[in-house]
Structure 1
Amino acid sequence: MNEKPSKSMSGNPLMPGWYADPEARIFEGKYWIYPTWSAPYEEQTHFDAFYSEDLVNWTKAERILMMADISWAHQAMWAPSPVERDGRYYYYFAANDIQSNDELGGIGVAVADRPEGPYRDALDKPLIDQFVHGAQPIDPHAFIDDDGTAYLYYGGWGHCNVVRLGEDMTSLVPFEDGETYKEVTPELFVEGPCMFKRGGRYYFMWSEGGWGGPDYSVAYAIADSPVGPFRREAKILQQDPAVATGAGHHGILQVPGTDEWYIVYHRRPLEETDRNRRVVCIDRMTFAADGRIEPVRLTFEGVAARSLPR
């Protein structure tokens, strides 16, 4: 598709095959990417994962979760977001693309003892299966704050909610004000929420535009609280007519103990018009002196090899 990467650079895309909606994590001394298998809904019946020790060489962990093992899922599993707590791995995902509260589906959670699974359904039902504040229950993103509080951000149809996860990571607990679902929708939000923390501040990111078209993109806000308010700052990831279109729905990696950051995202190669033909890529993400995120440059080269600190 593009030139083969050198040994010292990752190249983009990172791996062969059509993948999208990547979540990026560091587990057990390795970089991990958990994407959606990008295919028509009826074919999105499994999840793969990829891991690396240097951001350049990636190994595939196949079929870490199968639709056949989720009793309530019948089409379109996508947008995974795993997180580790107390040595176990909790894997949040969307299934069935429900259009109303009368349909079965929403956000599920699976659990495993290893980052590569195999994962099993933790509840035998969705964790979130209703439209609340207008948010379609899709695109979960798990975030554990420095104080140990676990949050799950999610939402489509232009609305985003955040909930608190219980200590078991498979239940919801109310906020101190008694609310269970807080709407935190910023301006122009469409879907694909993502949260990280830098310098004591909360960076909330999301996707804008339509995922099937060229204008898919990523914007962000900065707040002093994990529940906002989130005021849109700017768009930082979008198509480049010389590289690719439809750049969006991403995850973030920070090299521990450093201020080195990477954005892992999907995009559509210029020669492709099929909306499902998306690939996972990685590029550097940098910050201005005032903490704002600088626009990300889409590249074919990707990033240089970077091992994790020992």
Structure 2
Amino acid sequence: MTNRLNAEASGGKRAANPLAQGWYADPEARIFEGNYWIYPTFSAPYEQQTFLDAFWSEDLSAWHKAERILDVERIPWAEKALWAPSPIEVGGRYYLYFCANDIQSDEELGGIGVAVADRPEGPFADALGHPLIDRFVHGAQPIDPHVFLDGDGRAYLYYGGWGHCNVVKLNADMVSVGSFDDGEVFKSITPEGYVEGPCMFKRSGEYYFMWAEGGWGGPDYSVAYARSRSPLGPFERIGKILEQDPQVATGAGHHGVFVPNREDGDWRIVYHRRPLGESDRNHRVLCMDEMAFDDETGNILPVKMT
């Protein structure tokens, strides 16, 4: 791997979870330049969440850390609660969507921002000087962005907390929001049971929309999903595919998916969970397990935590 990375080996070959040392959460999974990348939240009290690290691997076994790919010193409007990063590559540039400040009303400064870099490891710098989305629409707190690039080149940003999810269409510049064909800018697509942490991928012509349910600080955090023929839904909840296992870990949720190049490739779900015996809500670790589909229905099979 290039020496442009400030990379630190994260335990060498690892046969078991967690993937990396330290407390991390809310991972996004991507494949950039032939390598596997995980972009998580640094799991700590909000005032300490002032930077983002990333992890990369050539083989899904040996993971390495790229340190401080983004921090609040490069975001003029951010102070704390920097979390839930979601990157995408377009035209040779990397766009990283994130949220900061955990705003509770439209009167506060914060929300979802976008940073840009020339490499997947950054360093990323704020692209706008202000948030991309800085207000509550359809009841959705502007947090937990997830960017999805469809096969036709259209880019969508899914986001939302407080039990509401919206989707917006990103313009070609990737740093501004456009409108849909009907003139609407923010579309509410909230499925039953949605809490936060949206995730989208496409398989066999269908859109699989996933999200987190339950409370992130408790043991019942989990992942559910829906399917649709459109990236805009409607999304009718099918059921949970990842939840706590009293023999392994609790609080399993807010995830990303490695989408293979081939339909019959190996799918992986990357998520955070809380080790048994840990009661601090910020004590979360990065984990990865196999994700499989029913051959007949195409539904996602329940994930077995390892």
Aligned to 2:271: 265
Paired with 1:9 and 1:23, the residues of 2 have a C-alpha distance of 20
Q: How far did 1:192 drift?
A: 0.1
Give, as a single letter, the amino acid of the residue that structure 2 aligns with 1:45.
Answer: T
- Work out whether 1:294 is the aligned partner of 2:301: yes
Paired with 1:217 and 1:111, the residues of 2 have a C-alpha distance of 31
CA 48–9 in structure 1, closer or farther in 2 if over 3 Å, else same: closer
Q: How far did 1:8 drift?
A: 7.1
Give, as a single letter, the amino acid of the residue that structure 2 aligns with 1:20.
Answer: A
Aligned to 1:123: 128
**Which among 227, 246, 254 is matched to residue 259 of structure 2?**
254
Report the secondary structure of 2:47's partner residue.
Answer: helix
Paired with 2:287 and 2:13, the residues of 1 have a C-alpha distance of 16
Q: TM-score, normalised by structure 1?
A: 0.94
Deviations 1:34-78 (A, max 9, x none): 000000000001000000000000110000001111110011100
**Which among 136, 140, 165 is matched to residue 145 of structure 2?**
140
- Work out whether 1:284 is the aligned partner of 2:286: no
Decide whether the 8 Å contact of 1:77 with 1:95 is kept in 2. yes
Decide whether the 8 Å contact of 1:10 with 1:57 is kept in 2. no
Aligned to 1:71: 76
**Which among 99, 103, 106 is matched to residue 108 of structure 2?**
103
Aligned to 1:234: 239
Report the secondary structure of 1:207's partner residue.
Answer: strand
Paired with 1:135 and 1:57, the residues of 2 have a C-alpha distance of 38
Decide whether the 8 Å contact of 1:10 with 1:55 is kept in 2. no
Paired with 1:246 and 1:13, the residues of 2 have a C-alpha distance of 14
Give, as a single letter, the amino acid of the residue that structure 2 aligns with 1:35.
Answer: P
Paired with 2:235 and 2:248, the residues of 1 have a C-alpha distance of 31
Structure 2 spans left out of the alignment, 5+ residues: 1-10
Decide whether the 8 Å contact of 2:30 with 2:258 is kept in 1. yes
Aligned to 1:23: 28
- Greater RCO between the two (CA within 8 Å, min separation 6)? 1
Q: Give me the CA root mean square deviation.
A: 1.3
Paired with 2:16 and 2:38, the residues of 1 have a C-alpha distance of 15
Paired with 2:117 and 2:183, the residues of 1 have a C-alpha distance of 31
Alignment of 1:34-73 (within 5 A): 34-73=39-78
Give, as a single letter, the amino acid of the residue that structure 2 aligns with 1:92.
Answer: Y
Decide whether the 8 Å contact of 1:237 with 1:247 is kept in 2. yes
State the aligned residue count.
295
Paired with 2:80 and 2:134, the residues of 1 have a C-alpha distance of 15
Q: How far did 1:211 drift?
A: 0.2
**Which among 168, 171, 177 is matched to residue 166 of structure 1?**
171
- Work out whether 1:195 is the aligned partner of 2:204: no
Structure 1 spans left out of the alignment, 5+ residues: 1-5, 300-310
